[in-house]
């Protein structure tokens, strides 16, 4: 280059495809990370479980060595009166056969549960409601369709040691879908409720605890709706814990919550807290194509609560593979100890239930001033939907909906 001559600029040709490739790689990385985050929260299928390094069992979900878990199990079982083997035996008893809503084999399950509850509360102040052989619900649907349901929910109330009436509700359902034995959905939740009842009658909490083992969840959340709309104990409920399953196997987790104090209680009480509230949004967005009683209590009636559920192996959910052979002690421990610990902490707290106002969305409760109110369920009525629609309850066995149907002509 000659002295004094200006330096020549060398231009490098731009390569837009490289920038595009970099952006695409970044987007793919974000998508993969988001996929595994969602999969880890919802565990959509057995394939996802294998990708995450999980097998068909549940031992790998319990943190710490086996000896530590054994010691923890022994300590908690003694403190909370939780008998894992007893829970497993009861689970096998109630899941011997499929027992969907209209399956007569469900009567045997109901009778076994009722007998077990009566045995547990014998000689205590606990009270069992819903002992009618069949509670009938006839609900009017738009378009002139009348739907008839048999409801056989079992509701138990364990009074508190104080004079406070604000109650905690713990909920599970004992019906299953056709062909399924209903072990995880929702047999484990049911036997956990029985263990909680066993614990409460021996060691009552400060506040009352109501346990609703309902019937008809799989066919429209019927048991929860009947309890919330018509049961006299529903008016005292300030919060609830719902025990559910959206899969078969694994460790129970909190996947929906609607009050920070309840979530904080779970974090303090659970031996190994496991929560991902992505379920709140997943249900709202319709990503999860199923529902739980959470939607009745929180969405419809504004009662705050926690939704516990098993979420692994989604492909086995609502199938014949949901049987007692798939259930492990670790799964029962994960839901059982979390439920008992959280329930006792909430119900013994001097502030949690008192700080939650009563729901303003529940229908009017029957009172002694109601005409012919010889039974606490009689003369209850609720107007909802169409103003001409009235529900009348008689002894919790006959729920009749009448409506003025206008005649219309269609082509």
Grouping H, G, I as helix, E, B as strand and the rest as coil, residue 243 is strand
Q: Cα–Cα distance between 275 and 296 in angstroms, integer?
A: 21
3-state secondary structure of 245: strand
Torsion of CA 59, 63, 69, 74, to 10 degrees: -110
Would you say 177 and 220 are in contact if contact means Cβ atoms under 8 Å apart?
Answer: no
End-to-end distance of the chain based on CA atoms, in angstroms? 93
Can 218 be counted among the known catalytic residues?
Answer: no
Tokens coding 297: 């209590």
Instruction: Provide the CB-side half-sphere exposure for 366 (13 A, CA).
Output: 25
Beta-carbon-side half-sphere exposure of residue 224 (alpha carbons within 13 Å): 30
Give me the catalytic one of 139, 166, 195, 217. Answer: 217
- Distance between CA 346 and CA 270 in Å, rounded? 12
What pairs with residue 209 in β-bridges?
A: 158, 168
Question: Which residues, other chains included, contact 162 with Cβ-Cβ below 8 Å and sequence gap of 6+?
Answer: 206, 207
Catalytic residue list: 217
């Amino acid at each position: 280059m000659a002295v004094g001559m200006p330096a020549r600029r060398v231009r490098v040709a731009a390569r837009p495809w490289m920038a595009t490739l970099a952006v695409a790689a970044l987007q793919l990385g974000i998508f993969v990370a988001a996929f595994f985050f969602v999969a880890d929260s919802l565990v959509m299928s057995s394939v996802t479980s294998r990708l995450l390094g999980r097998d068909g069992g549940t031992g790998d979900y319990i943190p710490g060595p086996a000896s530590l878990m054994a010691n923890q199990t022994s300590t908690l079982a003694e403190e909370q009166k939780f008998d894992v083997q007893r829970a497993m035996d009861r689970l096998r008893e109630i899941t011997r056969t499929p027992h969907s809503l209209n399956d007569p084999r469900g009567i045997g399950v109901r009778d076994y549960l009722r007998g077990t509850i009566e045995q547990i509360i014998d000689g205590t102040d606990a009270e069992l409601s819903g002992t009618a052989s069949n509670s009938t619900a006839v609900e009017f649907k738009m378009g002139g369709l009348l739907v008839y349901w048999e409801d056989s929910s079992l509701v138990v109330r364990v009074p508190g040691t104080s004079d406070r009436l604000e109650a905690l509700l713990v909920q599970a359902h004992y019906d299953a879908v056709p062909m399924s034995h209903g072990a995880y959905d929702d047999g484990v939740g049911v036997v956990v409720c029985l263990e909680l009842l066993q614990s409460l009658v021996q060691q009552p909490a400060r506040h009352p605890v109501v346990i609703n083992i309902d019937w008809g969840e799989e066919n429209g959340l019927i048991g929860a709706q009947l309890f919330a709309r018509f049961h006299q104990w529903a008016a005292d409920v300030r919060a609830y814990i719902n025990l559910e399953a959206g899969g078969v196997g694994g460790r129970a987790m909190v996947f929906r919550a609607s009050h920070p104090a309840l979530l904080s209680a779970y974090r303090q009480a659970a031996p190994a807290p496991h929560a991902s509230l992505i379920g709140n949004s997943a249900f709202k967005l319709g990503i999860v194509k199923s529902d739980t009683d959470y939607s009745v209590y929180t969405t419809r009636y504004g009662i705050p609560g926690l939704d516990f559920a098993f979420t692994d192996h989604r492909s086995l959910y609502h199938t014949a593979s949901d049987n007692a052979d798939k259930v492990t002690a670790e799964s029962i421990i994960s839901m059982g100890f979390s439920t008992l610990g959280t329930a006792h902490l909430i119900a013994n707290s001097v502030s949690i239930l008192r700080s939650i106002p009563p729901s303003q969305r529940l229908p009017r409760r029957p009172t002694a001033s109601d005409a012919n109110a010889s039974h606490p369920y009689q003369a209850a009525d609720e107007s909802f939907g169409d103003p001409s629609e009235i529900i009348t309850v008689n002894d919790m066995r006959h729920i009749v909906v009448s409506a003025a149907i206008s005649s219309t002509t269609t082509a």
